[in-house]
Structures are given as C-alpha cells and as structure tokens.
C-alpha cells in the first residue's frame, strides 16, 4: 500500500514538474517572441533618401547675397518691414509654423488640405510628412554649413517669434531656409495627392516659408532658395519606391478622412489661420 502511494506521489511530482517546465518554456518563448510593431511609426527617424540621392545644394544654389550688394539691401529692407508685424495674428501664426516636432508639425497644412492630419485617421500621411521633412531638411545642410550666413535677428538685434530656438539658430546657417524647403516639399506632395485643394495647399506652403521672414529668423533670399530645394527634394523622392507606396496609401487615407466633419476646435483654428494669412507681407516677392 505504501509503495503504491509512493509511486502515485512520484507520478504526481513528475507531472507537476513537466507542467512547470512547459509553462516556463511558454513564458520564455513569449518573452523572446518579437512584439508586433505598429505598421506606421509615430516617429520615423529616417528620411526616404540616402545621402547620395539628396539634391546637392552647393551645386543648385548661388552663394548668398554679398555685403554691399543690391540683393542684400533688399533682404535687409524686407526684414526691417517685417518687424511691424510683431504681436499681430500673423506673428502668432509664424510662431506656430516654427514648430517642427511631430505630431504637431503634421497639422500645419491640415486647414488647406481640409482634413485633420493625425495618427489615428491618417497614419501613413503622418509618416509621409515626417520622412519627407527629414529629406527636405537634409537637402539644405551642405549650403548652410558652407556659407554660415548670420540670421536677421543676429544683425538687427530684434526679437524672434520662437525665442526658445535662439541658441540652436545661432549655430545653424541661415542660407537656405530649411523650414521653407520643408513647407514647400509638403505643399507639393499634398497638392499632388489632393488636387482639388492644390491652390490652397500651395498658398499655405508659400506662407509657411514666409513665416520665417515674419519670425525674424530668415532673409528673403533664404526663403526663395529654400523653395528651390523643396522642389528638388520632391523630384528626388519620386524615384523612391517606399515614398511612392506611402503616397498611394496616403491618398486613400485623405479620401476616407474627408468624409468626416471637422471638429469645432479645428474649424476655429482654421478660421484664425485664414485671418492671419490675409495679412499682406511688405516687400515680399
């Protein structure tokens, strides 16, 4: 009898040990099993283009205006005229346009597009904007590093609309404007996938660059050449399969999102933006 109990106890212990072993194996397997990532990351740190595929800003752009030139005199006249806009709705819009952190940056062209751009309803479009932003910004670096042009606030001693950026901007050349290259890149891409809103998008893309004049952080020649590099970046992007794929999916997202009614907050924000954009900028070409 005692022997049978002992054998039975042994079988139970073996069963428990086996169960524990299987459970531990399952847990270990689960711990080492790759966790499924979001198909569309909220922050993609890479652009679409490799370094050698980027537009060559040193080849595409002439040097910035030289001391004593008529071009520099014009830049300075425009910069001086922009100081009158401090404290106005256009100045406040320029301050908002200065933000390039995602997801906030994705909303800059939402009103012109007529669709709220966010991670929930337009994730591929978010990725498209962030990755193309990195390419457009990278396209300006060589010229910025070569010329190291001082920015308007460094010459005129007047405030800028984003004082928190002061230290970083002092170390970053003014020519050409990276913000402008980004805004124009976005405007061209979005006008291609939402042609019914093309004029509004292009106008907003232009105004995004002009915000750098209002902000007292870029000269007019910086902004003009920034648009040049934005256009060159879009041309380069069209040879990239990943960009073309995201472009197709983003178009579908926009069509789907357009069926939704805008929120009251979005409508109020767009009305305020529209009011600010009606401001005539003095001397702007």
218 is annotated as an active-site residue? yes
User: 179, 197, 204, 227: which is the annotated catalytic residue?
Assistant: 179
Question: Is-contact 220 213, C-beta < 8 A?
Answer: yes
Q: Which of 75, 97, 135, 222 is catalytic?
A: 222
Tokens representing 248 are 């197709």
Contact 258, 115 (CB under 8 A): yes
Is residue 251 among the annotated active site residues?
Answer: no
Say whether 10 is catalytic. no
Interatomic CA distance for residues 205 and 121, integer angstroms = 22
Contact of 117 with 125, CB cutoff 8 Å: yes
Q: Which of 197, 218, 227, 246 is catalytic?
A: 218
Which residue is catalytic, options 131, 151, 212, 227? 212
Q: What is the dihedral of CA 174, 175, 178, 184, to 10 degrees?
A: 130
Distance, CA of 117 to CA of 281 (rounded, Å): 28
Tell me which DSSP letter residue 150 carries: P
* Residues carrying an active site annotation: 179, 212, 218, 222
């Amino acid at each position: 009898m005692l022997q049978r109990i002992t054998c039975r106890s042994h079988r139970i212990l073996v069963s428990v040990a086996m169960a524990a072993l299987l459970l531990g194996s399952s847990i270990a397997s689960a711990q080492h099993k790759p966790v499924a990532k979001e198909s569309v990351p909220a922050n993609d740190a890479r652009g679409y283009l490799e370094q050698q595929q980027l537009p060559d800003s040193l080849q595409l752009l002439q040097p910035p205006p030289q001391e004593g030139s008529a071009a520099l005199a014009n830049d300075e006249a425009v910069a001086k005229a922009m100081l009158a806009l401090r404290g106005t709705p256009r100045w406040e819009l320029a301050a908002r346009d200065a933000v390039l952190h995602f997801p906030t940056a994705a909303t800059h062209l939402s009103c012109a597009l007529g669709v709220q751009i966010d991670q929930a309803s337009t994730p591929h479009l978010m990725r498209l904007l962030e990755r193309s932003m990195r390419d457009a910004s990278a396209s300006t670096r060589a010229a910025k590093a070569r010329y190291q042009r001082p920015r308007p606030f460094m010459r005129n001693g007047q405030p800028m609309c984003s004082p928190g950026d002061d230290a970083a901007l002092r170390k970053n050349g003014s020519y050409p404007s990276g913000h402008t290259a980004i805004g124009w890149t976005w405007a061209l891409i979005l006008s291609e996938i939402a042609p019914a809103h093309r004029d509004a998008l292009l106008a907003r893309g232009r105004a995004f660059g002009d915000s750098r004049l209002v902000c007292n952080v870029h000269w007019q020649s910086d902004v003009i050449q920034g648009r040049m590099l934005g256009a060159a970046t879009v041309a380069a992007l069209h040879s990239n399969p990943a960009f073309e794929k995201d472009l197709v999916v983003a178009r579908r997202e926009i069509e789907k999102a357009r069926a939704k009614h805008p929120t009251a907050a979005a409508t109020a924000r767009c009305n305020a933006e529209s009011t600010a954009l009606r401001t005539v900028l003095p001397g702007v070409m």
